[in-house]
A and B are shown apart, each in its own frame.
Chain A
Amino acid sequence: MKKIIRNTMVLAGILASATAFSADYPSKNIRLVVPFGAGGGTDAVGRTLANSAKDILGTNISIMNRTGGSGAVGMSYGAQQRGDGYTLTVVTREIASLPQMGLMQHTADDFKLIRMVNLDPAVVLVNKDSKFNNINDLIKEAKANPGKVKFASTAAPNFYLIALQKDQGIQLNAIPYNGSSEAIPSVLGGHTAVTMVTPGEAISQLRSGQLKALGVMSKERISYIPNVPTLMEQGVNVTSGTWRGIGAPKNTPDDIITTLGTAFDQAMASDEFKGFMAKGAMTIHNMDAAEFTQFVKDDTKSLGELIK
């Protein structure tokens, strides 16, 4: 009996020492915190990127889904981990919006941002039989009947919509659905008139023609849906979208950030990752640490103006 305990202790000791910190990074498995559930878009991007990066870094990257509070729980958790490079976090646009709404204590400043991974604009979508054919039809209707046009919102509040509403001085009846998988059927079934999602979320319906795109909320057209004009082309000067990137706790040493940055550059350039993103109609947007940090700062400011 005593022997068993002793043996177990020895075994435990071996296992513990194998995970101890060492200078040659990375020497053990890296955890990537995904602040959204298994099976969602952020999860899929995180898993695929981890899969591509693991061979480059020469270590396994395990995905840790930590959901709650629209991403707040996972990102706060990631920000509070040891800055040893073994816990990374997928940061999403919510890191810019939630703190300003009083729904999250940590901000982008609690992270050292490593790379932006993707940037997707929102697309304005209506049913194929809708009377709206361009963004101005929709705006005209909303001006004529304030608060009457039913909008299937993928989140509450929906910043894509608020950006349009503020700019045009219109008001839609925003009904908060739980993500695009509820909002899209609602428009398909004719229960709501319009929704805004990213191209990847609606690519099946766009290709089959079940949904009609009134415009894309980016500066330039998107290669996956080249026939859809931007809102700016139609005289509506609004852009909006969402982004994802990778961050590490803010006390992570800079050389580790550099190592990881280079590894993610290669991962993002890999055929596997590029193929995955292209097929899912998601846009890879690689921004380096400095550029990404500035971008998040700017986006935080512009979201702050929408929230006010």
Chain B
Amino acid sequence: MFNRNIVFPILIIIISAVILAFIPQFTVPIYYQQDASVGAKFFPTVLVIAQIIICIALLIQHQKNKQKIKKTSAIFSKTSLFGLCFLVLYAVLIGLLGYLIASLISFTLYLVYLKTKTLSYYLFAYSFVVAIYYLFSHVFIISLPEGIIF
């Protein structure tokens, strides 16, 4: 079984190492400004190294307090995975259909997924979406996402 207290710091160390490999590849723009003695690469380098040190410390700490491990739940349950898919689907729909239609469709999908039968929930949901649409586009005059299709 994976132990998250070991996997997570190791994962961060790996990511940090990849980032560290990226830093020397920063390209200098065509018109080069004068720069301070501490340049563009300094901060990212220091931070990545600090991050690796912290992760190693976390691993050591975990090794020391092994007995105290509490039982934890899985990182992603079925519902939270649904939530994630819902988010992504909603964002994609907005890009395709625009805010209003995407929101109405997603809200319906969500309520259907939860097997909601209460009519008032649907009414509330739709009036909320339309109210926000009206508030943004007509009161604040902020343009909401427009879809590609419409």
Which of A8, A29, A31, A156 interacts with B33 by CB under 8 Å?
A156
B contacts with A, residue count (CB < 8 A) = 17
- What is the interface of chain A mostly: helix, strand, loop, or mixed? mixed
**Most chain B CB atoms below 10 A, which of A8, A29, A101, A307:** A8
Identify which of B15-23, B55-63, B70-78, B100-108 touches chain A.
B100-108
A62 and B143: CB pair below 8 A? yes
Of the residues A100, A174, A176, contact of B30 by C-beta under 8 Å = A100
Within 8 A of B (CB), among A148-186: 156-157, 173-174, 176
B29 lies within 8 A of chain A by Cβ:
yes
How many residues of chain A are within 8 Å of chain B by beta carbon? Answer: 24
CA distance A64 to B101 in the complex (A): 21
Q: What is the distance, in angstroms, from A11's C-beta to the closest C-beta of chain B?
A: 8
Flag the segment in A12-20, A242-250, A271-279 that touches B: A12-20
Let me know if B100 and A12 touch, CB within 8 A: yes
In the complex, the 10 A-B pairs of residues with the closest C-beta atoms, listed nearest first: A16-B150, A12-B101, A307-B31, A102-B30, A156-B33, A62-B143, A101-B30, A101-B31, A62-B141, A8-B104
Question: What are 14 A-B residue pairs whose CB atoms fall within 8 Å in the complex?
Answer: A4-B126, A5-B108, A12-B101, A16-B101, A19-B150, A62-B141, A62-B142, A63-B141, A64-B143, A101-B30, A101-B31, A156-B33, A307-B30, A307-B31
- B interface residues, Cβ below 8 angstroms from A: 29-31, 33-34, 100-101, 104, 108, 119, 122-123, 126, 141-143, 150
